[in-house]
Amino acid sequence: MTTAFLDTLRTLLGPAQVLTDGDLSAYLNDWRKRWRGRALAVVRPGSTAEVAAVVRACAAAGVSIVPQGGNTGLVGGGVPDETGTQVLLSLQRLNKVREIDAANLTITVEAGCVLQAVQTTAEAQGLLFPLSLAAEGSCTIGGNLATNAGGTQVLRFGNTRELCLGLEVVTAEGDVWEGLSGLRKDNTGYDLRDLFIGSEGTLGIITAATLKLYPLPAATTTAMAACASLADCVALLNLARARLGAGLTGFEVMGRFALDLVAKHFPTLPRPLPTAPWTVLLEQSDTEGEAQARQRFEALLGDALEAGTIADAAVAESLAQSHAMWHVRESIPLAQAEEGLNIKHDISVPVSAIPRFVAATDAALQALVPGVRLVNFGHLGDGNLHYNVQAPVGIDAKQFLADMEDAVNHVVYDAVMAHRGSISAEHGVGQLKREELVQRKSPVALALMKRIKRALDPDNRMNPGRVV
């Protein structure tokens, strides 16, 4: 049975695209090296038709499928289980840009296109695709859509869902839904697109998407500002919104310990400001010229200094300085990895509740684990914090993760729910948070999700054991 099935896959794709031997760790180990799966085969179709043919073959053989893009996910949703009975379907060969419609401000790309390639392709046409993530050099559009990825510009442009107008999807039966509409208005029934976005491959396999583009900004200005408290960071956000409106495209917050880790492990990176309890990285993109945009930005920071909302500020004088500021922010996860394993959280609460949430949760965790170190940073502009917990000094990081993860998660997620938040803001559920979702999600919502899963994937072949 297995031999015949693998022969069928080789006939469909060619022997070189059906991998069963050799080092397959790039496909079978997750980004965080937390999950290591086994696969019956890794298959690499090169077209939507080949994806559909593989799905039909798997359906006939009763084999489940795990779709995978760039394998940069953080919740274990894109690697197979340990049984060795699943097919890992990599979409990396579906990497064509099918069309750019400049007049309609859209680009249609295949699911395996790397995010950075989409950005540069749009830029070459004088246009902007605004989704921006730390993993943009490796992550793919299909994975971004499957997890409804967020990133640093959600404040202005929204999550990946808001950037997508249409999809092409292979269903669990191996049919192809061609929904690559570039329309911004289409009220002809249920929005099937939104079912598949964020479903993490559990309902079907996204093979292509039509995405929104925007005019390139005439000027971009970046700054860092030092704040004494999170309440001051929120006050600065409110002032920036009032002054800059839609021009405010980024508003990141970084706690002292997060930046201390960057300084420790990457000492050559510049530090534009002295250490402060909280540092904000903010950016505006404007259709006006550089001089006008900078004048408005500096006036905003000057008024914040006068009001005592910020203690200090540094404005980037060049594109290189702007990149350096963002590099500091994007180096926080890398510095964490150098420091050792930690308990990660990707949570969201209303922006107004963030100071209360952090104060209460910090205190609860210190009571639980005296000396625990909190790596707090993230997208304050949209209420999303990466609230990570590092072992106390002198405690083995791996042992801390094994011993304390459940208790720490309980404290953090209880606080999230008390502040009417979400336990997953942008990373998804995968297998990491599946059981937590059962405890935290509304029973009515869970029941509806399970009905949708049964309706679209009645045999539970599409990424089983993930999300629901």
Indicate which CATH number applies to the domain containing 384: 3.30.70.2740
**pTM across the whole model:** 0.93
- List the one residue out of 74, 76, 125 whose CA is nearest residue 101: 125
66 vs 54: CA distance, rounded Å: 12
- Look at residues 213, 143, 215, 141 and name the one whose alpha carbon lies nearest to residue 184: 213
Query: 51 in a domain, yes or no?
Result: no
Q: Domain total for the chain?
A: 3
Q: Is there a domain that residue 78 lies in?
A: no
Alpha helices, H only, 245-279: 256-265
Q: The domain spanning residue 223 has which CATH number?
A: 3.30.70.2190
Same domain, 169 and 227: no
How much is the pLDDT for 1?
A: 62
CB 70 within 8 A of CB 133: no
Domain boundary among 198, 215, 232: 215
From the list 109, 344, 293, the residue with the least C-alpha distance to 206 is 109
Identify whether 25 is part of a domain. Answer: no
Same domain flag for 185 and 248: no
Residues 164 and 240 in one domain: no
If asked whether residues 170 and 245 sit together in one domain, one would say no
Q: With respect to residue 345, please indicate whether it lies within any of the assigned structural domains.
A: yes
Rounded to whole angstroms, how far apart are CA atoms 345 and 413?
9
**Strands 41-43, 87-90: parallel, antiparallel or unpaired by DSSP?**
parallel
Same domain, 211 and 236: no
Give the E-state strand segments of 172-264 in sequence order.
176-179, 204-212, 214-215, 219-227, 248-255
Name the nearest CA neighbour of 209 among 149, 251, 266.
149
Within a domain: 18: no
Assign 338 to helix, strand or coil: helix
Is residue 191 one of the residues assigned to a domain?
yes
As a whole number of angstroms, the distance between CA 281 and CA 321 comes to 12
Q: Is residue 257 part of a domain?
A: yes
Return d(Cα 392, Cα 369) in angstroms, integer: 8
Token pair recorded at residue 241: 């919104």
Could you tell me the CATH number of the domain that includes residue 157?
A: 3.30.465.10
Cα 92–97–98 angle (5° rounding)? Answer: 120
360 and 313: one domain?
Answer: no
Does one domain contain both 284 and 382? no
- Last residue in a domain, options 281, 304, 333: 333
Q: What is the C-alpha radius of gyration for the chain, rounded to an integer number of angstroms?
A: 23
Of 176, 194, 215, the last residue of a domain is 215
Long-range contacts of 189-197 (CB under 8 A, 24+ apart): 192/167, 193/164, 193/165, 193/166, 193/167, 194/161, 195/452, 195/456, 196/145, 196/146, 196/167, 196/169, 197/145, 197/146, 197/148, 197/160, 197/161, 197/164, 197/167
Q: In this structure, are 313 and 259 located in the same domain?
A: yes
DSSP annotation of 216 reads P
Name the residue among 288, 213, 302 with its Cα closest to residue 247: 288
Q: What stretch of H or E contains 130? A: none
At 318, give phi and psi (nearest 5°): -155, 170
Residue 361 to residue 428: CA distance in whole angstroms:
22
Do both 392 and 319 map to the same domain?
no
Regarding whether 346 and 413 lie in a shared domain, the answer is yes
| Same-domain check for residues 349 and 423 | yes
On whether residue 401 sits in a domain, the answer given is yes
Name the residue range of residue 360's domain.
340-440
pLDDT (tens, 9 = 90+) of the chain, 468 residues, equals 689 999 999 999 999 999 999 999 999 998 887 889 999 999 999 999 999 999 999 999 999 999 999 999 989 899 999 999 999 999 999 999 999 999 999 999 999 999 999 999 999 999 999 999 888 999 999 999 999 999 889 989 999 999 999 999 999 999 999 999 999 999 999 999 999 999 999 999 999 999 999 999 988 999 999 999 999 999 999 999 999 998 999 999 999 999 999 999 999 999 899 989 999 999 999 877 778 888 888 999 999 999 999 999 999 998 899 999 999 999 999 999 899 889 999 999 999 999 999 999 999 999 999 999 999 999 999 999 999 999 999 999 999 999 999 999 999 999 999 999 999 999 999 998 999 999 999 999 999 999 999 999 999 999 999 998
Residue 211 shares a structural domain with residue 104: yes
